[in-house]
Amino acid sequence: MAPGGITGRTRPTKPKKQARAQKRKRDDVDVEKLEQAVAELDPKGTYKSFADLPLSESTKAGLKACHFAALTDIQAKAIPLALKGMDILGAAKTGSGKTLAFLVPVLENLYRAQCVGADAGLSAMIISPTRELAIQIFEVLRNVGKRGHLFAAGLIIGGKSLQEERDALARMNIVVCTPGRILQHLSQTAAFNVDNLRMLVLDEADRILDMGFQRDVDAIVEYLPKDRQTLLFSATQTKRVSDLARLSLKEPEYVSVHESASTATPQTLQQNYILTPLPQKLDTLWSFLQSSKKSKIIVFLSSGKQVRFVYEAFRHMQPGIPLLHLHGRQRQTARLDITSKFAAAKHSCLFATDVAARGLDFPAVDWVVQVDCPEDADTYIHRVGRTARYERDGRAVLFLDPSEEAGMLARLAARKVPIERIGVREKKQSSIRDQLQHMCFKDPQLKYLGQKAFVSYVRSVHIMRDKEVFRLGELALEEFAASLGLPGAPRIKFLKGDNAKELKNAPRRGVSPSSEESEDGEQKGEEDAAPQKPKPKKQDAVRTRYDRMFERRNQDVLADHYTKLVKDDEDGFNGDDQAPEDDFLSVKRRIAVDTDTDTDADADPEDTTPTAPPAEAKKTVRIPGAAQALVIDSKRREKLLKSKKKLSKLKGGNKKLVFDDEGNAHEIYELEDEEAFRQRGAPEEQRERFVREARERVGVADVGDKALAKEKKREKREKRKRREREEEGAGGVEVERDGEGADAFADFVRDTAGLVEEGGDEEERPQKKRPKKWFEDEDSEEEGTRNGKSKRRKAAERAEPETLEDLEALASGLLGA
C-alpha cells in the first residue's frame, strides 16, 4: 500500500512527491507513538480538552484552526472509547457536539491504520438521513481534516450523475452519504469495493434505523464486512436490541451524557406553546412574524404543500422579513442555495418540513416555531434543537389546537420536555383571512396551492399514529379552509380501514414512489437521493407510470369519480358536500380503474409488493364509451393508454353529434320521422323535386358566379401580360425562352383553374356549388344561411374526428356556426 497518493489527480510534481515521502516517514513514527498512547488511554478517564487526548498532529491542527479546544460532554466520553475501537451508541442533546464525537475518531483511527490513498480503498462510511445534513458533516470533516491529513473524502448524496459519483467513489477513503444513494452504488457498481471498510457511522441513528430506511440500511449492512467498528449517534437514541442486532454491534458502549439530566432539551432553550385553534394558526403566525422581524426563525409545517402555500401567500403580503422555504421536493441545487442563504442570513424566516428537523446546524437561530404539531416527542426535540445550539440561547414556540393540547403535553412531559403555555397579546393579533381570501380569489394558482395545502394537512393528521393527540374529528376543517382563503373545504375521502401507522410509514418505506403522498410528506425528500432506489424484491416486476398511477393513493382525494374506486371512510370525516370539487382539478380524461384483485387491495400499498406474481397485477381499464374493458397485460397495451388517438379508436367508432338550442345532443345525420317524410310525397317524387330545386338555385347562382369568374380571369390575364412585358423589356434571349415555357405552364394552370372556377357557385368557395343533398334540413335552403351552413358542413365533414379534441372542436364549430 502506498499511502499519500490519491489517484485521479494530476501527477504530483516532484517536490510534492518528496514532501509526501518525508511526511510518510514522519507519520510512521507518529503512528507508532500514537498507537502506544491509545493503547494506554483510559477510556473511562475524564478529559477536558482535545489536547488531553492522543490525537495526530494533523487533527489537532485542524481542531485548533476551527477554534475547538474544550471537549463537550459527549466528546469527552465518546472519543476515548471510539479511539480504542469500541462500538458506540452515543446519545446527547441537540447541539452538543456529536459531529466531532464521531469525526475525530474516524480521522484518527484511519490515520493510525494508515488507510490513506486510493489503494486503501473505502475505509469509513458516514450515513446521514438527509442530504443537507450529509453536506454539513462533510464540511466539518473537511475543515477539521484539512490541516495535514491526506485522506480522500467525498459526498455521495445524488444530484450528480451516477458515473461521476462512481469515479469519485473509487478514490475515496471516507464517504459521507445518504442511505438510498449509497445503496444504489453498492448494488450497481461492480467495482465498488467495501471489503476494507473499517468504520460505519450513523448520524441521527434512530432516524436511519426507523422504518423508513429499514430496507436500505439492512441491504447496505449486507455488503459491509462484519469486522468493523460501528458508531451510532443521535439526540434521541435507539436502544432496541433488534436494531442493534441488525447492525451486528459488538457489545456496544452506551454513552449517554444527558440521560440523568432533568430535561431532554438544552438548558438554554426556552420553550412555550400557544393555544391557537387550527383556523387561527395562520393569523397567529402572521402576527408573530410581524412582531419578530429582526429575528432568525424556522417555521415547521407538516408537509411540503403547506410550506409552499404559506410561503407564497406570505410573500405576497410583504411581511417585512426575508422569507425562504425548504422541502423535499425542491431541486437539489435550490435546497443547497436555500440552506446556505439561511445559514448566512441575519434576519430571515425559513418555512420548512421536517427535512430540516434533524442535525442541521444553522448559526444563531432565534426561534423555532412549530405551526403544525410534530408527530411525536422525538420530532419535537429535534425541531427545537435547531436553536439553542452549543450553549447559545434560543426560543421555541409550539402552536397547539385545543384538541391536541392534552395529548401532546403528556407526550412531551413523558420525554422530559419543559414547556409552558403563553398567550398572544390581543392587540398584536391580526387577521389575514380577508387578505388571503382576496388573494386566492384573484390568483387561481394560489387558491390551488391552498387547496393542496388543505388536503395535505388533513391527510397528515389522518395518518398520524398517535390518535390521542391527533383527532381529525375535532378539528374545525371548514373554518380552516376559509382561513386559508378558500371558498370551501376541498372534499376528501379516505380509504376504508386505513391503517394509520402503515400509511404514515408508507412513504418512508418508499412503497409508492410516485404517490403524491410523498410530495406531502416531509419524509420523501428527507432521505432519498437515489432516483431509482434499488429494491431487491421488486426487481422482477416491471412497474410503469401507469402502475404507479393506479397505485396512487391520492386518488381518493378530490373527485367523487375517483372515490368510486375505494370504499368510504367510516371514521368520521367525509369532507363537505358543498365542496367545489370542480375547482380543484380539471380532469380531462377520466379512466376508472379496476384491478383483478380486490379494489381495497389496490389502494393498499402493501399489496402492490411483488410477492404477488406479475400476472395477477394486470389491470383492466374501462374506457368510457368502449364496449369492453381494456386489459392491460403488456407494455404495448399500457402505451396504448397514452395515446388519445388509439383510445378513441377503441371506443367503437366516433359519433358525430350536433347540439340543439337546449343543448341536447343529436347525431348529425339523424333520420327524420318516417311518417312526416312520407307525408310529403313519394320518395322518388321528393328526390326529383329536390334535384329540380337545387338545379334552379345553382342556375341562379351560376349567372353571377360566372360573371365574377370571368372578371377574375381577365384580371389575372392582364396581370400576367403586364409582368411578361416587364420581363421582356429587361431580359435577354434566355429569359425569352424561359418565358415561353412558363407561358405554356401558365396556360395549363389557367385552364385547370378555370375549370374549377367555372363550376364555383361562390367566389373562392368552389365547394359551395355542391347541390344540397336531399336529407339536409329545410332552413339550409334559405340563401341567407348558406354561409353559415357551409361552415357547419365543413366542420361536420372534416375527416373522421380522431381525438377527443377533434370532437370538441367539431362540437364547438357546430355550436358557434
Decide whether 27 or 206 has the Cβ nearer to ligand ADP: 206
Which triple of cell numbers denotes residue 309? 402555500
Tell whether residue 121 is a contact of Mg ion (CB under 5 A): no
Pairing of strands 124-127, 253-256: unpaired
Residue showing cell 460532554: 73
From the list Mg ion, ligand ADP, none, pick the one residue 96 interacts with, judged by a Cβ distance below 5 to 8 Å according to partner type.
Answer: ligand ADP
Least distance between ligand ADP and beta carbon 250 (Å): 24
Least distance between Mg ion and beta carbon 99 (Å): 5
Q: Residue 761: phi, psi to the nearest 5?
A: -100, -10
Decide whether 183 or 255 has the Cβ nearer to ligand ADP: 255
126 DSSP β-pair partners: 176, 201
From the list Mg ion, ligand ADP, none, pick the one residue 71 interacts with, judged by a Cβ distance below 5 to 8 Å according to partner type.
Answer: ligand ADP
From the list ligand ADP, Mg ion, none, pick the one residue 279 interacts with, judged by a Cβ distance below 5 to 8 Å according to partner type.
Answer: none
For 76-131, the DSSP string reads HHHHHHHHTT--EEEE--TTS-HHHHHHHHHHHHHHHTT--SGGG---EEEE-SSH
Least distance between Mg ion and beta carbon 298 (Å): 16
Asked whether the beta carbons of 296 and 347 are under 8 A apart, the reply is: yes
Least distance between ligand ADP and beta carbon 101 (Å): 7
Decide whether 4 or 80 has the Cβ nearer to ligand ADP: 80
Decide whether 390 or 441 has the Cβ nearer to ligand ADP: 390
Asked whether the beta carbons of 316 and 446 are under 8 A apart, the reply is: yes
Rg over alpha carbons for the chain, rounded to the nearest Å, is 38
Asked whether the beta carbons of 532 and 183 are under 8 A apart, the reply is: no
Site for ligand ADP, rule CB under 6 A: 68, 70-72, 75, 92, 94-100, 359, 361, 389-390
Contacts of 584 (CB under 8 A, 6+ apart): 448, 451, 490, 558, 559
Q: Directed axis angle between helix 57-65 and helix 98-112, to 10°?
A: 150
Decide whether 203 or 604 has the Cβ nearer to Mg ion: 203
Decide whether 62 or 359 has the Cβ nearer to Mg ion: 359
Q: State whether residue 162 is helix, strand or coil.
A: helix
Least distance between ligand ADP and beta carbon 438 (Å): 43
Residue showing cell 452538543: 96
- How far is residue 507 CA from its own chain's centroid? 12
How far apart CA 306 and CA 450 sit, in angstroms, is: 8
From the list ligand ADP, Mg ion, none, pick the one residue 390 interacts with, judged by a Cβ distance below 5 to 8 Å according to partner type.
Answer: ligand ADP
Q: Residue 782: phi, psi to the nearest 5?
A: -75, 130
Region near Mg ion per CB under 5 A, out of 96-104, 259-267, 563-571, 676-684: 96-104
Least distance between Mg ion and beta carbon 134 (Å): 11
Least distance between ligand ADP and beta carbon 258 (Å): 10
Residue showing cell 460501528: 230
From the list Mg ion, ligand ADP, none, pick the one residue 100 interacts with, judged by a Cβ distance below 5 to 8 Å according to partner type.
Answer: ligand ADP
Least distance between ligand ADP and beta carbon 389 (Å): 5
Which triple of cell numbers denotes residue 153? 473524502
Decide whether 34 or 209 has the Cβ nearer to Mg ion: 209
Asked whether the beta carbons of 772 and 694 are under 8 A apart, the reply is: yes
Q: Pick the binder of Mg ion from 359, 374, 488, 801 (CB under 5 A).
A: 359
Least distance between ligand ADP and beta carbon 203 (Å): 7
Q: Pick the binder of Mg ion from 98, 305, 327, 383 (CB under 5 A).
A: 98
Which triple of cell numbers denotes residue 332? 437539489
Least distance between ligand ADP and beta carbon 67 (Å): 7
From the list ligand ADP, Mg ion, none, pick the one residue 72 interacts with, judged by a Cβ distance below 5 to 8 Å according to partner type.
Answer: ligand ADP
- The torsion of the CA quartet 67, 100, 343, 154, rounded to 10 degrees, works out to 110
Decide whether 97 or 488 has the Cβ nearer to ligand ADP: 97
From the list Mg ion, ligand ADP, none, pick the one residue 122 interacts with, judged by a Cβ distance below 5 to 8 Å according to partner type.
Answer: none
Decide whether 97 or 760 has the Cβ nearer to ligand ADP: 97
User: Residue numbers of the site for Mg ion (CB under 5 A)?
Assistant: 98, 359
